[in-house]
Amino acid sequence: MTERRPAYQRILLKLSGEALAGDADMGIDPRVLNRMALEVGQLVGIGVQIGIVLGGGNIFRGAELQANGLDRVAGDHMGMLATVMNGLALRDAMERNNIRTRILSAIPMSGIVDHYDRRAAIRALQSGDVCIFVGGTGNPFFTTDTAATLRGIEIQADVVLKATKVDGVYDSDPFKNPEAVKYDYLTFDEALEKKLGVMDLTAICLCRDQKMPLRVFNMNKPGALLSLLMGDAEGTLLGNKPR
């Protein structure tokens, strides 16, 4: 019997802040964090190199703070700092499960986390550490989806995996439309033309221009991450070529 090998050697996994909150609207659910750490640990165990970009929407989002009267740039700075807090919590959960990690932040924060350096990240990945990228892109008016795409391209990941609350990309928001139909495959141009709201447009354009495949899948489905790493058709794949 031939042993199945992982479909990808190096991945960039985007975990939204909301994913860390579990069933709650905000904050961090330690059980969810532990489950995610264990799922990531399984991938480390089969030799996959993993970079993770964390969101911060479970704590602060700049646009929401702005809607409540705060300056947008200050709000975005708060959102980026929120991703650092999520990173510290995820590192803690990973290290309790004996998974070696390295946090790299787009915003220098000496004494708490290391400053992002692409070559240091690649070296850490090659030595088997999971790299947790925090601080988004370091700039306001961007999102952590764009940061995920950016870091994925920089570390030369084989794929960007966007973990979310839905099973993939649908022809309309499945939370609002129960009749929505899921795509198994979609080109970036189709996603842009149809304005499918699952990922921000800057992130999709960057993937398209740099030919970085993107898979959107449901992180609430236990085992989905391992299953897609083993080549199963979980979620929706986005790429450049029409099928």
Ligand X SMILES: Nc1ncnc2c1ncn2[C@@H]1O[C@H](COP(=O)(O)OP(=O)(O)O)[C@@H](O)[C@H]1O
Q: Please give the residue ranges that form the binding site for ligand X (CB under 6 A).
A: 16, 18, 57, 164-166, 169-170, 172-175, 196-198
Q: How far is the CB of 82 from ligand X (least distance, A)?
A: 13
- Residues 179 to 238: which contact ligand UDP by CB under 6 A? none
Token look-up 């050697």 returns: 9
Under the criterion CB under 6 A, does residue 168 sit at the interface with ligand UDP? no
Which of 28, 36, 52, 80: binder of ligand UDP (CB under 6 A)? Answer: 80
- Residue 101 is assigned to a ligand binding site: no
Q: Is 17 annotated as a binding residue?
A: yes
- Per-residue 3-state assignment (H helix, E strand, C coil) for the chain: CCCCCCCCCEEEEEECHHHHHCCCCCCCCHHHHHHHHHHHHHHHHCCCEEEEEECCCCCCCHHHHHHCCCCHHHHHHHHHHHHHHHHHHHHHHHHHCCCCEEEEECCCECCCEEECCHHHHHHHHHCCCEEEEECCCCCCCCCHHHHHHHHHHHCCCCEEEEEECCCCCECCCCCCCCCCCECCEEEHHHHHHCCCCCCCHHHHHHHHHCCCCEEEEECCCCCHHHHHHCCCCCCEEEECCCC
Decide whether 40 or 99 has the Cβ nearer to ligand X. 40
d(CA 126, CA 138): 25
Which one of 43-51, 74-82, 120-128, 226-234 is the stretch in contact with ligand UDP (CB under 6 A)? 74-82
Q: Give the nearer residue to ligand X in terms of CB position, either 16 or 83.
A: 16
CB of 196 to ligand X, least distance (A): 4
Query: In the structure encoding, which two tokens stand for residue 160, read together?
Result: 């960007």
Q: How far is the CB of 224 from ligand X (least distance, A)?
A: 14
175 is in an annotated binding site: no
Q: Please state whether 221 falls in left (phi above 0), alpha (psi between -120 and 50) or beta.
A: beta
Residue 79 is labelled as binding a ligand: no
Per rule CB under 6 A, is residue 9 in the interface with ligand UDP? no
Q: Using CB under 6 A as the criterion, what x/- string covers residues 28-67 for binding ligand UDP?
A: ---------------------------xxx---xxx----
Residue ranges at the known binding site for ATP:
14-17, 57, 61, 164, 170, 173
Residue ranges at the known binding site:
14-17, 56-57, 61, 76, 137-144, 164, 170, 173
Residues that bind ligand UDP (CB under 6 A): 16-18, 55-57, 61-63, 75-76, 79-80, 82, 136-137, 139-140, 142-145, 147
